[in-house]
Amino acid sequence: MPTQPLRTQVGILGAGPAGLLLAQLLHRAGIDSIVVDQRSREDIEETVKAGIVESPAAEVLATTVSDRVYRDGAKHDGIAFHFDGQAHRFDFQDLVGRSVYLYPQHEVLKDLIAARIDAGVAPLFEHTATSVEDADSDRPRIVGTTADGSGFEIEADVVVGADGSGSIARIPVVGSQQGGFFREYPFAWYGVLVEAPPSSEELIYSRSEEGFVLISSRNREVQRMYFQCDPATDPASVSDDEIWAKLQAGVTTDELKRGPIFRKDVLRFRSFVAHRLRHGRVFLMGDAAHTVPPTGAKGMNLAISDVLWLNRALREFFGSGSETLLESYETDALDRIWKAQHFSYWMTTMLHIAPDASDFDRRRGLGELRLVTGSRAAQEYLAEAYTGWDYGVDGWRD
């Protein structure tokens, strides 16, 4: 054990978008924090991740961290649905006057880490937190070990768990790592990273008799594509030829641009919301608080909402000592969390075919897709949710 614990106002578990953005916003208000993460900086910055940034999330990042999302991100004014042999475009600009930005999460993380280093408070990488202690006291502690095996301890006024879906901060908050409202889906995504130019300038979400396909992108040179698979699929068991056949079967019009496949993985689908987001002086946000299936592209965008609510509450707490906003954090954050849960569930169930789907289910599903693409009101509903509801939280611009 170290003789001297580190001392800070806010101890943050997890150098993901949620933890780092909270640290950045608190720093702007003169509040100290320490961010710890078990991964190395290189690992965090180089692991290629998804990245659809909603319009309100782009504004938050550009205002408080870096405008690279606007400069280097690709503005997407719509998406396409392919089904029943036809392509249907949702024109976001026409429908709701908004766009989204294709700006992968690892680029957001590079910006956030650079901002922490500029502020003179680099995250503590390769620090593995093993527990959060004394959640009920006004001096909660993060306890863990460093890469060389020595112990560390951080004593804070408030501890924030932004440590992802395997969060250890859930233990003091809900009693276990699993305690939450939960749904598992009977299908998964088989994902590939391909060295090729984009096959489409906008994302294609497709549903065919074979199930779901998504054509997405990382940049001009690397493309990300997925098809629906059994959750038990071994990524190595599917040949490149089978992969291209599955992907091509999904798109109705375009010939996909092919190239070497350099990553294959299987993503399991779950929806999760922790039973509580706070216990004493310990708070949960981002994936530690909730997980959404990726079909709605909501993960990082939803995490930013939690950050804005908690930032506002912590500014009030450290400014005046009042706990009023800390007390309402859970209720405030949950409003958007459940809306995003619904949207992600809806997109997921609408675009996939469950393994036990009956002929009725398949036909009803096509009816739903025709309804959504055939009605302006329904298209507006989807466009509004996809491009992002306003956060409705103040206190982050200054």
Catalytic residues: 76, 205, 294, 298, 386
SS3 129: strand
Using the rule CB under 6 A, which residue among 18, 36, 52, 204 binds ligand PHB? 52
- Smaller CB separation from ligand PHB, 129 or 340: 340
The whole-angstrom separation of Cα 214 and Cα 200 is 11
Contact 27, 119 (CB under 8 A): yes
| Residues in contact with ligand PHB, shown as a per-residue x/- string from 272 to 291 under the rule CB under 6 A | --------------------
Q: Which two tokens stand for residue 267?
A: 């993503």
Answer for the pair 226, 213: CB distance below 8 angstroms, yes or no.
yes
Supply the minimum distance, in Å, between the C-beta of residue 51 and ligand PHB: 6
Q: Which of 168, 297, 333, 353 binds ligand PHB (CB under 6 A)?
A: 297
Interface residue with ligand PHB among 216, 305, 379, 387 (CB under 6 A) is 216
**What is the residue-wise DSSP string for 21-77?**
HHHHHHHHTT--EEEE-SS-HHHHHHS----EE-HHHHHHHHHHT-THHHHTSEEE-
Nearest to 48 by CA among 102, 129, 128: 102
Establish if 82 lies at the interface with ligand PHB (CB under 6 A).
Answer: no
Task: Give residues 238-267 in contact with ligand PHB (rule: CB under 6 A).
Answer: none
If binding is defined by CB under 6 A, does position 295 make contact with ligand PHB? yes
99 touches ligand PHB (CB under 6 A):
no
> Which spans in 322-358 are helix H?
324-351
Least distance in Å: CB of 296 to ligand PHB?
Answer: 6
Q: Which is nearer to ligand PHB, 122 or 267 (CB)?
A: 267
Q: Do 351 and 365 contact (CB within 8 A), yes or no?
A: no
344 binds ligand PHB (CB under 6 A): no
Query: Closest CB to ligand PHB among 116 and 224?
Result: 224
For residues 222 and 288, which CB has a smaller minimum distance to ligand PHB in the complex? 222
Q: Does 50 bind ligand PHB (CB under 6 A)?
A: yes
From the list 24-32, 59-67, 235-243, 294-302, the region that binds ligand PHB by CB under 6 A is 294-302
The nearer residue to ligand PHB, 295 or 373, going by C-beta atoms, is 295
The reply on whether position 224 binds ligand PHB by CB under 6 A is yes
**Contact residue for ligand PHB among 19, 140, 172, 294 (CB under 6 A):** 294
Rounded Cα–Cα distance for residues 352 and 250 (Å):
12
Q: Which is nearer to ligand PHB, 33 or 295 (CB)?
A: 295
- Judged by CB, which is closer to ligand PHB: 140, or 293? 293
What is the helix, strand, coil percentage profile of the chain, to 5? 40, 30, 35
How do beta strands 6-13 and 33-36 pair? parallel
Nearest to 334 by CA among 396, 272, 266, 277: 277
Residues 311, 317: contact at Cβ < 8 Å?
no
Minimum Å gap between C-beta 267 and ligand PHB is: 9
167 binds ligand PHB (CB under 6 A): no
What is the total count of residues that contact ligand PHB (CB under 6 A)? 8
| Residue 136 structure tokens | 């009920």
Q: Which two tokens stand for residue 102?
A: 């294709």
CB neighbours (10 Å) of residue 74? 16
> Could you tell me which stretch among 20-28, 180-188, 292-300, 330-338 binds ligand PHB (CB under 6 A)?
292-300
Map the footprint of ligand PHB across residues 174-203, applying CB under 6 A. Answer: 203
- 124 contacts 35 by C-beta, under 8 angstroms: yes
> Where along the sequence are the contacts to ligand PHB (CB under 6 A)?
50, 52, 203, 216, 224, 294-295, 297
